Amino acid sequence: MKRALILVAALSFFITALTGSAETLRLTLEQAVALGLKNSGSIDSAQLETRVAEEGVRSARASYYPGVSVSAAYTHIFKEIKTDDMSLNGITIPGSYQSSQDPVTVSADVTQTITTFGKLKNAMQLAEEQVKLSMLDYQEAQRSLTVNIKRGFYGYLLALAVLEVQEQTMACKEDALGTTLERYDSGLIPDYEVLRVESDLESFKSDLIDAENSVKYARLAVMDLLGIDREEDGFELELIGSLEEDYADLDRKDLVERALSNNHAIGLSRQALKLQDVQNELNRAQKRPTIAGFAGYEISSGFDTATGQARYWGEDAWDGDLSAGIAVQVPISSLFPWSGENARVKAGELEAGKAGVDLDELASGVTLAIDNGLLTIEKQKSKIESGKKAVELAESLYSSSRERYDSGLITSLDLQNAQLALNSAQLKYLQAVYGYKTAIFDLMDTAGLEDL
């Protein structure tokens, strides 16, 4: 229900944005996720795979029901078989035709499996397990896309925040150049001080251009995830949000339990083990008999034995035969130790053992990945706190340096160093916040979750 509401909200917002402004589409994180899920071709493909698997279940279930077939045949015999004339005591008995020249037969047959001693049951269960396997892929496609959209969303917000820092730094450098020119005009500083400030300003313009391009690239990356073609759809994208500290309350034991339950690789391995168990039962069932019942009714057109002409109308024109019975098929070869049936059973048991070992290895690897993810998150939290303090100190240093530079107590190089320190501290802080977000998304992927 929550997803449905989000989707409706996203679509409403989408329509409003298009009708109200043909240039910019503004989306929150929730709306972006809903739109991306709606437009995703990979999710549609995974859903179709699930439907294919469901049809496989229907096909397997059909084996429980009777098989009915109806056939009709018309045959023209170019040379009919006729018995020779016979003479007895001077009396000639003319020969007769043994078959019709143009016979027609119509038949109906019914077959019904009585028991296969597990073959049909296990084939049905195998098809059902395939549906569960395809559902895992479908759910993972949704989850993975959701997390990737979140990555792209916050990557875009990071690019915007970096651009804002670079623009602020550029404004500071331009303001410092203005002060430098005033001091030069007053004869307080030599011309090389002006050249130094101008050179620093021009050099920084490339950093500003890089930041602007990063925003454009991040926007295009998100549009690709959302299935939006800028040229075809005719609008730009704006994401609404901010890159801020937002610490999650994480519990290792709970995360490990959820990971062992939701991790895609573990789910696939667990499902593969179930499939192998069912396949093994099916292999064993192949060594057992199959009992089926059958019934058939056939009618054939009559004919005149004297002329061989077919008789389709009138009395005795058609004659019918009803047959019924039970068929028992016993795979005798499976009784021998060297049979293919026994080899498949043994191979299946070995495959099941291997699948169990692989599952244990995956579970161990996922647990270790959870621990590493939590350590990374704690490291990023420490970087955020340290970065926050570094920004405060750099801001104080720059403010003091700017006052001292305006008073002529320090050179432009000292001011540039203070600007560089502030710029570096701000960027490192933003990278730390984004690094924390990225570590959270990595943890989501490890645990097989779309939200913590």
Has residue 452 been placed in a domain?
Answer: no
pLDDT at 315: 75
Indicate whether 28 pLDDT > 70: yes
Indicate whether 19 pLDDT > 70: no
Tens-place pLDDT, residues 302-347? 887 777 788 888 777 888 899 999 999 998 988 888 888 889 889 9
Stretch 20-37: mean pLDDT: 84
Phi-psi sector, 94: left (phi>0), alpha (psi -120 to 50), beta: beta
Report the domain count for the chain.
1
Has residue 27 been placed in a domain?
Answer: yes
Q: Where residue 263 sits, what CATH number does that domain have?
A: 1.20.1600.10
**pTM of the model as a whole:** 0.82
Where does the pLDDT of residue 39 fall: very low under 50, low under 70, confident under 90, or very high at 90 and above? Answer: very high
| Residue 132 burial (10 A CB sphere; 0-12, 13-18, 19+) | middle
Has residue 13 been placed in a domain?
Answer: yes
Tens-place pLDDT, residues 185-221? 988 888 988 999 999 999 999 999 999 999 999 999 9
Indicate whether 120 pLDDT > 60: yes
pLDDT at 233: 63
| CA dihedral over 441, 446, 449, 452, signed as positive or negative | negative
Tens-place pLDDT, residues 276-295? 999 999 888 888 999 999 99
Has residue 440 been placed in a domain?
Answer: yes
Q: Could you tell me what percent of the chain has a pLDDT over 90?
A: 66
Spatial separation of the C-alpha atoms in residues 21 and 14, rounded to whole Å:
10
Q: Which two tokens stand for residue 367?
A: 């647990």
Stretch 397-413: mean pLDDT: 91
Question: Among candidates 452, 450, 441, which has minimal Cα distance to 151?
Answer: 441
pLDDT at 317: 84
Has residue 6 been placed in a domain?
Answer: yes
Q: Which two tokens stand for residue 236?
A: 């730009």
Asked if residue 230 lies in contact with residue 236, where contact means CB atoms within 8 angstroms, the answer is yes
Between residues 90 and 418, the one the model is more confident about: 418
Indicate whether 164 pLDDT > 50: yes
Q: Which domain holds residue 108?
A: 2-447
Spatial separation of the C-alpha atoms in residues 357 and 352, rounded to whole Å:
9
Between residues 156 and 102, the one the model is more confident about: 156
Stretch 28-53: mean pLDDT: 94
Stretch 149-165: mean pLDDT: 96
pLDDT at 296: 94
Least confident segment among 156-170, 228-242, 296-310: 228-242
Between residues 385 and 338, the one the model is more confident about: 385
Where does the pLDDT of residue 268 fall: very low under 50, low under 70, confident under 90, or very high at 90 and above? Answer: very high
Stretch 375-381: mean pLDDT: 96
Please give the mean pLDDT across all residues of the chain: 88
